[in-house]
């Protein structure tokens, strides 16, 4: 599965010119500067790349970054906030992930425990929460007045928008409960993400950390799609879709409409294609999908690419390296 450094350089033929930075390096999605700074501080204090990813993403969970990470955001259609997260060690290729995690705030921390204390990769739902408690994480309410308000407003708008199709009653006009329709239209409405996801809801923190020796870790954390059907899992906790790390090559992380992104496994495409080509490939099927990718290689070169949609023409991401005195917000034009 490992690719040589030559292949990895291909993914830096981005819409923006690749930028090279001295190591160590922290790169993460969106303008989540405090998360970047936290990860950097962990490295400076002697922590590992895995430590830096965990603490950096956990900072966003604490800060409830854009309401799309951590507790109190993105209620599902029952009004509950659930969390997804993953963390990957590019040295050992180990992955720990949780999905549909309930009543536990530190999702990325629980994902780290999956690596450290199990032979599994992904734990889900109520069982993931029970595992978290056994690992010493407390049960806490993930609901806040804000998330309750978002849920109430959605109910008052006849549960619009939502993620149902081919059901009765008409999901575009009512809250259900739904049953399957007799006639099923299998064709996917690839423009649905534009209706369902606000570009103000930034969806996920994805982070790549490269140490001084070029070793890599990556991770993600999110509370998922707003008003999702309970039990839905997107790309974020899936290795190769939400993020990936390989210390022989580089790392990548994706953000956006996870139901679309995960179908294309951006990591596998990134092994052979430039980031912009990954976005272009998805656009063939979903011309107006909302998404972006960040990537970096073991020498410190990094870049990003994104898909242009109304209201989303540029993608902002964060970088920290020895050449910078503070986290640097960078921007790439979407294609």
Q: Which residues are annotated as a binding site for substrate?
A: 232-235, 255-258
Interatomic CA distance for residues 273 and 267, integer angstroms: 10
Which residues carry a binding-site annotation?
A: 232-235, 255-258
Compute and round to an integer the Cα radius of gyration of the chain. Answer: 19
Contact 63, 246 (CB under 8 A): no
User: DSSP strand E in the chain: where?
Assistant: 19-20, 25-29, 83-89, 95-101, 122-124, 167-168, 179-180, 205-210, 216-222, 243-246, 250-256, 291-297, 301-306, 314-320, 328-333
Interatomic CA distance for residues 171 and 12, integer angstroms: 42
Catalytic residues: 204
Contact 42, 52 (CB under 8 A): yes
Residue 221 C-alpha from the chain's centroid: 6
């Amino acid at each position: 599965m490992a690719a040589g450094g030559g292949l990895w350089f291909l993914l830096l033929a981005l819409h923006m010119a690749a930028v090279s930075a001295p190591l160590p390096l922290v790169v993460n999605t969106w303008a989540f500067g405090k998360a970047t700074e936290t990860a950097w501080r962990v490295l400076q204090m002697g922590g590992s790349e895995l430590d830096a990813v965990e603490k950096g993403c956990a900072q966003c969970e604490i800060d409830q970054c854009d309401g799309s990470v951590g507790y109190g955001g993105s209620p599902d259609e029952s009004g509950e906030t659930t969390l997804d997260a993953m963390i990957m060690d590019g040295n050992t290729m180990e992955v720990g992930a949780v999905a549909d995690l309930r009543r536990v705030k530190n999702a990325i921390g629980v994902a780290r425990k999956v690596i450290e204390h199990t032979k599994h990769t992904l734990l889900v739902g109520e069982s993931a929460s029970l595992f978290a408690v056994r690992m010493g994480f407390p049960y806490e309410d993930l609901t806040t007045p804000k998330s309750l308000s978002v849920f109430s407003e959605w109910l008052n708008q006849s549960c619009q928008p939502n993620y149902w199709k081919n059901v009765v009653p008409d999901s575009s006009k009512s809250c259900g409960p739904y049953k399957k329709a007799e006639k099923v239209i299998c064709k996917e409405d690839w423009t649905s993400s534009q209706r369902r996801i606000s570009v103000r809801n930034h969806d996920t923190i994805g982070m790549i950390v490269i140490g001084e020796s070029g070793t890599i870790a990556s991770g993600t954390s999110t509370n998922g799609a707003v008003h999702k059907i309970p039990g839905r899992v997107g790309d974020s906790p899936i290795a190769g879709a939400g993020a990936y790390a390989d210390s022989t090559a580089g790392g990548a992380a994706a953000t956006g409409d996870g139901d679309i992104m995960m179908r294309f496994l951006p990591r596998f495409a990134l092994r052979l294609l430039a980031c912009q080509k990954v976005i272009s490939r998805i656009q063939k099927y979903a011309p107006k999908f909302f998404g972006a990718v960040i990537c970096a290689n073991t020498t410190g070169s990094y870049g990003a690419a994104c898909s242009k949609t109304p209201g989303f023409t540029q993608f902002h991401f964060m970088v920290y390296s020895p050449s910078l005195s503070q986290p640097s917000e960078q921007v790439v034009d979407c294609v």
